Chains A and B, each alone.
Chain A
Amino acid sequence: MTWLSITIAGILTYFTRMTMIVLVRRDLLGEKIKAVLAYVPSAVFPAIIFPAIFINDYGAYIEMNDPKIFGALVAIIVGYFSRNVIATIFSGLLSYWIIIFIFLS
């Protein structure tokens, strides 16, 4: 039963990936729609970022002094100026670790 569910979930997922690539042709999308689609990264990724920072494993909002908020702010500043993915991820993790291991331990 679980195997069947996984297979169906996999087929569904594959369809989400394939449908637009196969169906959409240039003349199908007007200039206006293309202009809106240019916002896709900005319109999708915060839906992954925000809950991962502001909502904990138990589905509750975190406190305003949670170390994740500090880590995210450091990552944003470092990322903005360095334009470097590794520096962004690492600075965020490092500042998060400094708080949880040094200040909160």
Chain B
Amino acid sequence: MLSKKQLFSRGMLDIAPHMLSVIPFGIICGAIGVDLGFNPYLVYAMSIIIFGGASQIVFLQLLSGGASSLVAVTSVGVINSRHLLYGAVLSEYLEKLSFIKKLLISYVVVDQGFAESNKFFKKNKTEQYLHYHLLGTGITMWVCWQIATLAGIILGSFVPEELGLKFAIPLTFIAIVVQDLKKLDHVIVMLVCGISSLLFFEAPFKSYILISPVIALFVAALLLRLKK
């Protein structure tokens, strides 16, 4: 049995490598917000209030491009709706927590944290304080995101644009799913999701990010049926 502290540090350790892409991305996000002409306090407040990487940039880009607030808000909601799936997966492991603790821990559920903690949960189902791992990944992400966006807002885009560091984001997610390429069913589900996301990229409110997982999960359900 691991202690709460051990689980928390394990979470921090598991998410740490992803900071290689999260920190440059945070700097870019902060700098873009200021470049687009928004009040720096407002740009930073988004990191606390929304705390959702790409959705923060999309929000500001839409507004500065003349879109209505309704369109911007809806897009953020749609982009972040993928958390519903993360929550459904995590609920099994967080079941024993009190209502208040569930409300609090929800705030730090992010893509990379979900992915790493979910991998850990699957291997260590019997641990009593599993949620400390999720706190470790989530809080590490939160702190790094705050520092990185703040640095981008204050110092501007000091990461040279020519480096193309935005490319680190898909790489971080490749690192997350790459081991599942061993399984044919997962490869099919990934391809269906990826190709759908390209086909539906122009769909309104960035809804490709919701449509493609739904199609991919439907295919996953069909595959499960075929397997039997």
User: Interface of chain B, helix or strand or loop or mixed?
Assistant: helix
Q: CA separation between A20 and B69, bound complex, in Å? A: 27
**Pairwise interchain contact A71-B171, C-beta atoms closer than 8 A:** yes
**Pairwise interchain contact A89-B20, C-beta atoms closer than 8 A:** yes
Q: CA separation between A92 and B182, bound complex, in Å? A: 20
Residues of A near B181 (CB, < 8 A) are: 76, 80
Residues of chain A from 30 to 71 with CB closer than 8 A to chain B in the complex: 32, 34-55, 59, 61, 68, 71
B26-53 toward A: CB 8 Å interface, digit per residue (1/0)?
0000000000001000100110011110
B185-228 toward A: CB 8 Å interface, digit per residue (1/0)?
11001111111111001100000110011001100110010000
Range of interface residues on B (Cβ < 8 Å): 35 or more
B85-110 toward A: CB 8 Å interface, digit per residue (1/0)?
11111111011000100110111010
**Pairwise interchain contact B91-A79, C-beta atoms closer than 8 A:** no
B150-183 toward A: CB 8 Å interface, digit per residue (1/0)?
0000000000001111111111111111111100
The 8 closest A-B pairs by CB, nearest first: A20-B87, A10-B49, A43-B216, A46-B194, A85-B17, A18-B106, A50-B194, A24-B91
Residues of B within 8 A of A (CB): 17-18, 20-21, 38, 42, 45-46, 49-52, 54-55, 59, 63, 69, 72-73, 76-77, 80-92, 94-95, 99, 102-103, 105-107, 109, 111, 115, 118, 162-181, 185-186, 189-198, 201-202, 208-209, 212-213, 216-217, 220-221, 224
